[in-house]
Amino acid sequence: MVGWNSHVSGSLRATTASPLSPEPPYFSSSSRGERYFCSGCGCPLWFRLTDTDRYFIPWTLLELNEVDRRRLILAAEIYTETQPAFWRLTGQYARLSGKEVEEMDSPCQLAH
């Protein structure tokens, strides 16, 4: 999934809890989600949707080999109304505005 939030950011959807113990610090960035970060350097780690307990993890945090990186598939482009005019992606996948994303009953619709 690619989100447009002042820059392009790619993330993977995960449905399991934080793999770190203790859980890293976070702040509630909205009524819908929490943003986790490294307590040592402040680097952002992932975003969690609180109502569905789904995690969106930047793919760059994962230790993937070249074969696994090539298997990643773009499923959706979200918050497209903030996409810069000079940057257009091509392909067959969902393109959703922020309003469309926030009105979804279930975030798993992004993968369909």
- In the chain, what are the domain boundaries? 2-111
DSSP helix/strand/coil, 37: strand
Note the pLDDT tens digit of each residue in 53-83.
Answer: 777 888 778 888 999 888 888 888 888 888 8
Cα–Cα distance list, 94 to 35, 54, 64, 99 (Å)? 24, 19, 25, 14
Question: Is the entire prediction scored with pTM above 0.85?
Answer: no
Name the range with the highest mean pLDDT among 1-5, 18-22, 85-89, 108-112.
Answer: 85-89
Cβ distance 78 to 98 under 8 Å?
yes
* Selected residue with higher pLDDT from 86 and 17: 86
